[in-house]
Structure formats: C-alpha cells, structure tokens
Structure 1
Amino acid sequence: MDGSRYRDRIGQLVEPGERVLAYAKADTAKGAPPPLPLDAAKPEAPVGRLSIGAALLNLISPLISWGWGDRLVDRILWGIAGRGDPGAAASRLHHALDPPRPELAVRDILIVATDRRLLVCVSGPMKLLSSREDDERSVDETGIAWSASRAEVASARVGWHRLNPKRLRIDFTDGSWLSFTVPIAESGGPLRAVAAALPD
C-alpha cells in the first residue's frame, strides 16, 4: 500500500496545532534488536549444548526456533539493528512494534516527524488479497504505537548498511538507537525526508 494513503489519517492523529514535517512507511531493520524493557516478559534462554543446537536448528529450519537462536542468527546474517539499555527509548520503541507474542496480521509502520514529536504509527491489520474497503479500514485503524518529544531525538540519518543503501538510523539522547528500512525496490526519499526533519 502506498504510504501517501496515510496522509489524512496522520493529520487526524496529531495534536491541535502540531505540524507534520515528514513521514515514511518503513519496517524495523532486520538484525539484533535492543534488549526488552525491564518490565517486559523475557523469553527463557537455553544453556550449554542446547544453545549451540538452537542456533544451528534456526539456521537449518525457520520453523524450529528458540529466542536465543533467533538473536544469534540475526546478529550473524543482518548485524545490529539497534542498541541501548533495557528500558531506553530504542528498547521501548522496538518492544512497542514487536511485542513478545505478536499477532500474525501484517501491519504497516509509519515514521512521522512533526514540529513537536517523533511518532511511530501502526496501521490496522491488512489482508493479502484485500479490497478497497479493506485497505480503507486498515488506514482508518492506524494509531500511534509510540512517541517521543523532539528533545529525546539526538539525530537521524539514512545510509548504507551491508547491501541496503536506505537504512534510517534514529539516535536518541539516552544513547540508544534503532534502525528502519524500506525494500530495495522502493524509494528512500521519504526516509531521507524524515531524517532531514529530525534534529542533527
């Protein structure tokens, strides 16, 4: 779904007088994420030989998975997608977009820079073979999943990461950071506009 379809809905989500500077449809970058917040449910980590076996099984078959193995495979294949202490801005943002027990529905993620805040919005669930009404319902159900004041954002930039030249990295003033990407075939212009609209 084209990100421009969300323009009116984003305008409804901001506060009165708040001005939208830029927005982009993106996905959280693949790779090792920041740790979960302290109050989040943590998956149990296997120990000893089971740990090595879990990592190998994750590489061999995506249907067999352990949280620890997933994190190791992500680190090897994709690198680091975010850093920060548990409960830091990047930790809370990633947890808001990727809860421990995610639903199977596909949703769009929108990064929105306003003159007051950084907003991360999530669309309503989408269907693989959707009608126009389904698409409109998904847009209408879009809501704010996480927000931070502009003062909490230290910088934002778009650059290369491995084979992807369009990776948006948002650094927060608490020292944490999180990355977002778009598919190679899509334009990186909206991500660059968001980066330009956030503090340097």
Structure 2
Amino acid sequence: MQDSGYRDRLGQLVEPGERLLAYAKAEAAHGAQPAAAPDATAPQGSVRVTAGGVLLNLLAPVVTFGPGDRLVDRVCWGVAGRGAAGSVAARLHRALHPPRSPGTVRDTLIAATDQRLLVCLTGAVKLFAWRADDERSLAGTRVVFAAARTEVAAARVGWHRLNPKRLRVDFTDGSWLAFTVPIAESGRPLREVAAALSR
C-alpha cells in the first residue's frame, strides 16, 4: 500500500474541522505491556512464577502461562508499556489486539491531529494478498482508539536496546506505551508523530 493511500484514508476518518498533522505505520513494541483488565472467569488467588513455568514458555511458546509470558517478555524485549488495568495505555494496548481470523494481518497507524491522538487498524488481509486485497484492507481502516491531546503528556523517539526507532507516548495518568517500526524502515514518520504530539 502506498503512503498516500494511508493519508487519504486517515483524512476521511478525522472529524470535520480536525487537521491531520502526522501519521506513521508502526506496531506496538514487543515486551512487557500495561496491566490487562482482570478476567472475571479466571480463578482468584496468587500465581507463582517458577523456573519450570518460565522454561516451558521458552521451549513451547504456544503454551500460555501469564506470569511466565510476562517474565520472558521482560527479559527478551524489556518494558514496552506501563499502566494500571484501567489506564489510557492499557486501554490502547487492548484496542490494538482485536480478535482476528488465523492467517490474516492488520497494519497499525498512529496519527496526530490538532485535537487528538488516533490509533487505527486497517482491515484484515491475508498473508499472501493481491493488490485488490490491499485496497479492501485500506478501505476497512477504522479508528480503534482516540485520546484527546490533553491526555498526552509527552512523545519522543529514542533508542531501546538495538532499535533506535521506538516511539514512546506518555499519558497524563502516568501510563505509557511504545511503538516501533522494523529496523530497515525509516524512523522519520515516528519522529514526525512525536513532534506533532509535543506541540
């Protein structure tokens, strides 16, 4: 998909009178994330992180063990977000992971307007897609999260481990979430979003 297609679609998603300042195609950074909302169906009680549970997570990644997953994420990737279960960052992180069909992907777009921070997901597209599929995916782009500019405390792009292109968005409630682009891609769009959010 061409970048101009993203800009045109985002221009359709902003409110009347709202101006699109910058946008970037990115993904939520890997690593330990903000706290998830408690699952009402999960049994209550404390869960201990054991060496066996962590080893199981490393050897069989398809097996999920919450505390082990978080520890492996923290060791391998570091911290990619912080915040209590109801924080702005936690709500944003949850909005980025809707249910999806197996074998499909979505692109994440972060946009700064003169009034809001918008996070959008494109329509689902199959892994091996044709151009027509890409166009349908772009047409299916929708806003999954919006925050008023007053909720954004700061935004900056900097180094994290070996990646020099990680956007960290801090919110006024003390929570934060990070986004990255692949190493081979330019970090300029992320820097433009950070600059627009810092105005």
Q: Following the alignment from structure 2 to structure 1, what is the Cα–Cα distance between the partners of residues 12 and 124? A: 19
Q: Following the alignment from structure 1 to structure 2, what is the Cα–Cα distance between the partners of residues 142 and 109? A: 9
Contact 2:47 2:67 in 1 (8 A): no
Residues 1:97 and 2:96 are matched in the alignment: yes
Contact 1:161 1:167 in 2 (8 A): yes
Residues 1:179 and 2:146 are matched in the alignment: no
Question: Could you say which residue in structure 2 is the equivalent of 1:12?
Answer: 12
Question: Could you say which residue in structure 2 is the equivalent of 1:128?
Answer: 127
Q: Following the alignment from structure 1 to structure 2, what is the Cα–Cα distance between the partners of residues 83 and 153? A: 14
Question: Could you say which residue in structure 2 is the equivalent of 1:34?
Answer: 34
For 2:11, the aligned partner's letter is G
| Farther off after superposition, 128-137 or 56-65 | 56-65
Corresponding residue SS for 1:175: coil
Corresponding residue SS for 1:112: strand
For 1:196, the aligned partner's letter is A
1:77-104 deviations in Å (ceiling 9; x for gaps): 00100011111100100011125x5543
Q: Following the alignment from structure 2 to structure 1, what is the Cα–Cα distance between the partners of residues 22 and 166? A: 16
Q: Following the alignment from structure 2 to structure 1, what is the Cα–Cα distance between the partners of residues 100 and 83? A: 22
Contact 2:24 2:111 in 1 (8 A): yes
Contact 1:153 1:173 in 2 (8 A): yes
Q: Specify whether residues 16 and 62 from structure 1 end up closer, same or farther in structure 2 by C-alpha distance, changes over 3 A only.
A: same
| Farther off after superposition, 77-86 or 53-62 | 53-62
Q: Specify whether residues 41 and 114 from structure 1 end up closer, same or farther in structure 2 by C-alpha distance, changes over 3 A only.
A: farther
Q: Specify whether residues 125 and 152 from structure 1 end up closer, same or farther in structure 2 by C-alpha distance, changes over 3 A only.
A: same
Question: Could you say which residue in structure 1 is the equivalent of 2:188?
Answer: 189
1:8-34 deviations in Å (ceiling 9; x for gaps): 110110001110000000000000000
Mark the runs of 5 or more structure 2 residues left unpaired by the alignment.
Answer: none
Contact 1:37 1:95 in 2 (8 A): no
Q: Specify whether residues 17 and 93 from structure 1 end up closer, same or farther in structure 2 by C-alpha distance, changes over 3 A only.
A: same
Q: Percent same amino acid at aligned positions?
A: 62
- Across the aligned residues of Structure 1 and Structure 2, the Cα RMSD in angstroms comes to 2.0
**1:46 CA displacement:** 7.8
User: Equivalences for 1:76-91 in 2 at 5 Å?
Assistant: 76-91=75-90
Question: Could you say which residue in structure 2 is the equivalent of 1:117?
Answer: 116
TM-score relative to the length of structure 1: 0.91
Corresponding residue SS for 1:23: strand
Moved over 4 A (4+): 40-46
**1:118 CA displacement:** 0.2
Q: Specify whether residues 55 and 158 from structure 1 end up closer, same or farther in structure 2 by C-alpha distance, changes over 3 A only.
A: same
TM-score relative to the length of structure 2: 0.91
